[in-house]
């Protein structure tokens, strides 16, 4: 669902965006190209990347692209995944944490918005957690599904099915944005952030953890 911007609204400054994505590049080249393109857009815009700290797949692709474009990258990775193969070798901030829960909490705290590129079960789990927190009004940070070549359409269909069956009710909606083009992601986030500011919504509560 898209949020309608106010013409008079001035967006809150988006300093960092957390990107959830696969540790594989997937089965199609356009996933790789989308990750590179988003990384370059963030780097050139001076927006920092917060991500899972890996060097493989779309994770490594977007992180390297941000660095290539002159941007800052913060990788947050649990200690059991740290090795030369899994971690980015380029110059960036790396935070090693003891477990997955700490990783997700720090990724939340470091980010002003969230983007889900294509990925696997881990990406889905991180995305759904943020959607749940938004639904429960634990924060109002924008959440964008990068629907590259319709990747997220099965999930969107599942959400529609949940609504039809009465498990997502109109007064307790899940709020998200869907971008079919990579270049639309940042404008969507800025518009959503401005709308949240206009409505007086807090970016986060004192403790976003449930």
Q: Is residue 169 part of a domain?
A: yes
Q: Which domain holds residue 125?
A: 16-198
Handedness of CA 15, 20, 25, 27 (dihedral sign): negative
Q: Is residue 108 part of a domain?
A: yes
User: 171 phi and psi, to 5 degrees?
Assistant: -85, 0
Per-residue confidence at 91, pLDDT binned at 50, 70, 90?
Answer: low
Q: How far apart are CA 176 and CA 10, in angstroms?
A: 20
Q: Is residue 205 part of a domain?
A: no
| pLDDT per residue as tens digits for the range 177-197 | 999 999 999 999 999 998 888
Q: What is the pLDDT of residue 201?
A: 66
Q: How far apart are CA 14 and CA 48, in angstroms?
A: 9
Q: Is residue 116 part of a domain?
A: yes
Q: Is residue 151 part of a domain?
A: yes
Residue 21 has pLDDT above 90, yes or no: yes
pTM: 0.88
Higher-confidence residue of 97 and 206: namely: 97
Higher-confidence residue of 209 and 139: namely: 139
Q: What is the pLDDT of residue 97?
A: 95
Q: Is residue 5 part of a domain?
A: no
Q: What is the pLDDT of residue 202?
A: 60
CATH code of the domain in which 48 resides? 3.40.50.450
Q: Is residue 104 part of a domain?
A: yes
Q: What is the number of domains present in the chain? A: 1
Q: Is residue 204 part of a domain?
A: no
């Amino acid at each position: 669902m898209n949020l309608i911007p106010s013409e008079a609204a001035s967006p809150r400054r988006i300093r960092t965006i957390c990107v959830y994505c696969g540790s594989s590049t997937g089965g199609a080249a356009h996933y790789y190209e989308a990750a590179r393109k988003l990384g370059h857009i963030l780097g050139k815009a001076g927006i920092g990347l917060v991500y899972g700290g890996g060097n493989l797949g779309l994770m490594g692709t977007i992180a390297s692209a941000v660095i290539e474009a002159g941007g800052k990258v913060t990788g947050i990775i649990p200690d059991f995944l740290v090795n030369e193969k899994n971690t980015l070798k380029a110059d960036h901030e790396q935070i090693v944490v003891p477990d997955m829960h700490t990783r997700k909490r720090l990724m939340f705290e470091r980010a002003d918005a969230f983007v889900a590129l294509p990925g696997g079960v881990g990406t889905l789990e991180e995305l759904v957690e943020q959607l749940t927190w938004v639904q429960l009004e634990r924060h109002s940070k924008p959440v964008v599904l990068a629907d590259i070549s319709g990747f997220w359409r099965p999930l969107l269909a599942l959400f529609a099915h949940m609504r039809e069956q009465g498990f997502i009710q109109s007064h307790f909606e899940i709020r998200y944005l869907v971008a079919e083009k990579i270049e639309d992601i940042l404008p969507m986030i800025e518009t959503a952030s401005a709308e949240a500011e206009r409505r007086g919504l807090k970016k986060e509560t004192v403790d976003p953890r449930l």
